[in-house]
């Protein structure tokens, strides 16, 4: 889904930085509108000032603010997750099955973006289990049908995944439990306090202390609480034995933010403290970001120049014989294929990347050409990489592309910034898989 969105945005706006910025703005704006209406449906007795303020607080959450800076996969996911929450709240208030079917539909769409969307199924299961008055939901056919609607919408991607040898599913499954016990748990907790905002975390503790005795009387409040608590708990438990990236639980932020804002709004002084405090924290974050933020924040001009790579590549090929294009990272392979307009692949033969590299198994199915003796390969790798060292052994010589061609590519990820274009000339072996 994110690839399609990027593709269409790039077709419309041409410049990759412009398309990323506009895509981020569109989905952030849509998400804020959804949060506004979640607040309005949850606290209909309050005026619109609360709902606007809730959207502002939500935007000021550092984790949400980061996704606004760059159009990453979690931005559409969070929007779709929150939209599903809104439709379920509407269902609770109206008992109209159409809202439940919409929930199912958007769960399916969300699964196209990221498997994390399936956590909403857990929320919808435990909501009737833990909230006695709502257990009647299990007796309604449309409650179960909505779940199958989501699976039906997701099914084309599921079938495609099976046809693609289940590599993506197996890779993610194999990552579970690959860390030292509890190694990432404290990092996860610290990251979440930072991403959610220390100030908002303090108010969450105060909200929990004051509201826990009343929340059981309001199905919407308990649903919003579970929509935040269950995803967070899932990733917390997963962090015990698995590396969890800080942005993964972003979907859990909206529900609890609406509840905190609705509770705190009556105390105007404290609510202003929350808003001004988060604005101050965000300013500090931006100042720090000017020196160490993701590349899209501080090096937009470099990222924008990626669209010139195809022309530079054609110039290089006109003067140098190149038979294969390879890189050792799945993200680089995808981006280079797009910007250079050349069929980059991940090496899985004599130049093979290490076992466990994301996408290795899937690329092995696509990497079906064989290199003949004397052929040349253009690599985009780090000089200290495994692929580079193997190329040194299997080719007559390998050297960095001369500066006159200006072959440069700017990747957003810091750990990829040292990669360079290298031409490996004269394969020593014959009819071998790279």
Query: Rounded mean pLDDT of 279-302?
Result: 69
State the virtual CA torsion across 54, 30, 10, 327 in degrees, nearest 10.
60
Is the model more confident about 186 or about 378?
378
Q: Is the predicted pLDDT of residue 53 greater than 90, yes or no?
A: yes
Q: Domain segments of the chain: what residues?
A: 2-298, 302-433
Residue showing tokens 């760059």: 70
Q: Is the predicted pLDDT of residue 413 greater than 70, yes or no?
A: no
Contact yes or no for 42/85 (Cβ under 8 A): no
pLDDT at 172: 63
pLDDT at 225: 95
Structure tokens of 377? 């390969």
pLDDT at 330: 77
Q: What is the pLDDT of residues 63-115, one digit of tens each?
A: 888 777 665 678 889 999 999 999 999 999 999 999 999 999 999 999 998 88
pLDDT at 299: 62
Chain centroid to Cα 415, Å, comes to 17
pLDDT at 175: 64
Angle at 56 between CA 210 and CA 292, to 5 degrees: 105
Count of CB atoms within 10 A of residue 197's CB? 26
Query: Rounded mean pLDDT of 414-421?
Result: 79
Chain centroid to Cα 22, Å, comes to 17
Query: Rounded mean pLDDT of 401-405?
Result: 87
Say how far apart CA 385 and CA 401 lie, in whole Å. Answer: 17
Q: Is the predicted pLDDT of residue 20 greater than 90, yes or no?
A: no
pLDDT at 136: 92
* Torsion angles phi and psi, residue 331, rounded to 5: -65, -40
The least confident of 187-196, 325-334, 357-366 is 357-366
pLDDT at 111: 92
Query: Angle, nearest 10°, between helix axes 268-292 and 198-211?
Result: 150
How many percent of the chain have pLDDT more than 90? Answer: 40
pLDDT at 414: 64
Say how far apart CA 246 and CA 236 lie, in whole Å. Answer: 11
Highest mean pLDDT out of 89-93, 128-132, 161-165, 209-213: 89-93
Query: Angle, nearest 10°, between helix axes 268-292 and 62-69?
Result: 40
3-state secondary structure of 345: strand
Q: Is the predicted pLDDT of residue 160 greater than 90, yes or no?
A: no
Q: Is the predicted pLDDT of residue 165 greater than 60, yes or no?
A: no
Is the model more confident about 330 or about 28?
28
* Torsion angles phi and psi, residue 88, rounded to 5: -70, -35
Query: Rounded mean pLDDT of 166-177?
Result: 64
Task: Assign residue 363 a region (left: φ > 0; alpha: ψ between -120 and 50; beta: otherwise).
Answer: alpha
Alpha helix stretches (DSSP H) within 198-354: 198-211, 219-238, 253-264, 268-292, 295-298, 300-304, 309-319, 330-339
Q: Give whole-number Cα distances, 309 to 1, 209, 306, 341, 408, in Å.
A: 25, 56, 5, 8, 7
- Mean per-residue pLDDT over the chain, rounded: 86
Q: Is the predicted pLDDT of residue 294 greater than 60, yes or no?
A: no
pLDDT at 37: 97
Q: What is the pTM for the complete model shown? A: 0.83
Say how far apart CA 366 and CA 154 lie, in whole Å. Answer: 24
Q: What is the pLDDT of residues 241-266, one digit of tens each?
A: 888 888 889 999 999 999 999 999 88
Give the confidence band of 14 by pLDDT, cuts at 50, 70, 90. Answer: confident
Q: Give whole-number Cα distances, 427 to 378, 381, 432, in Å.
A: 12, 18, 9
Q: What is the pLDDT of residues 198-251, one digit of tens each?
A: 889 999 999 988 887 777 789 999 999 999 999 999 999 999 988 888 888 999
Say how far apart CA 210 and CA 394 lie, in whole Å. Answer: 68
Q: Is the predicted pLDDT of residue 297 greater than 70, yes or no?
A: no
């Amino acid at each position: 889904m994110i690839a399609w969105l990027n593709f269409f945005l790039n077709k419309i706006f041409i410049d990759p930085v412009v398309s990323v910025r506009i895509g981020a703005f569109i989905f952030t704006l849509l998400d804020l509108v959804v949060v506004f209406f979640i607040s309005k449906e949850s606290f209909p007795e309050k005026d619109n000032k609360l709902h606007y303020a809730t959207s502002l607080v939500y935007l000021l959450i550092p984790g949400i603010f980061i996704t606004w800076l760059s159009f990453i996969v979690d931005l559409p996911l969070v929007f779709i997750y929150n939209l599903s929450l809104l439709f379920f709240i509407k269902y609770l208030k109206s008992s109209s099955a159409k809202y439940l079917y919409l929930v199912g539909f958007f769960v399916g769409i969300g699964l196209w973006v990221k498997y994390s969307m399936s956590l909403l199924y857990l929320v919808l299961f435990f909501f009737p289990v833990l909230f006695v008055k709502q257990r009647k939901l299990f007796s309604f056919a449309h409650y179960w049908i909505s779940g199958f609607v989501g699976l039906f919408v997701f099914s084309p991607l599921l079938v495609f995944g099976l046809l693609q040898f289940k590599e993506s599913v197996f890779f993610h499954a194999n990552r579970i439990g690959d860390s030292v016990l509890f190694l990432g748990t404290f990092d996860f907790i610290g990251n979440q306090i930072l991403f959610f905002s220390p100030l908002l975390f303090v108010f969450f503790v105060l909200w929990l202390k004051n509201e826990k005795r009343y929340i059981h009387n309001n199905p919407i409040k308990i649903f919003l609480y579970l929509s935040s608590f269950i995803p967070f708990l899932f990733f917390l438990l997963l962090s015990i034995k698995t590396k969890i990236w800080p942005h993964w639980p972003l979907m859990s932020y909206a529900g609890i933010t609406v509840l905190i804002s609705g509770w705190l709004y009556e105390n105007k002084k404290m609510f202003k403290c929350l808003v001004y405090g988060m604005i101050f924290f965000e300013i500090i974050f931006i100042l720090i970001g000017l020196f160490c933020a993701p590349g899209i924040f501080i090096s937009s001009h470099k990222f924008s120049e990626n669209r010139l790579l195809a022309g530079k590549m054609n110039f290089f090929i006109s003067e140098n014989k190149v038979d294969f294009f390879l890189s050792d990272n799945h993200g680089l392979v995808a981006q280079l294929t797009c910007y250079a307009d050349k069929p980059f692949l991940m090496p899985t033969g004599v130049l093979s990347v290490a076992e466990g590299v994301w996408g290795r198994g899937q690329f092995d199915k696509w990497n079906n050409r064989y290199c003949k003796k004397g052929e040349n390969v253009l690599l985009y790798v780090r000089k200290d990489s495994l692929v580079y060292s193997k190329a040194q052994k299997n080719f007559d010589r390998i050297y960095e592309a001369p500066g006159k061609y200006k072959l440069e590519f700017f990747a957003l990820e810091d750990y990829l910034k040292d990669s360079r274009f290298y031409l490996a000339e004269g394969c020593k072996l014959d009819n071998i898989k790279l």
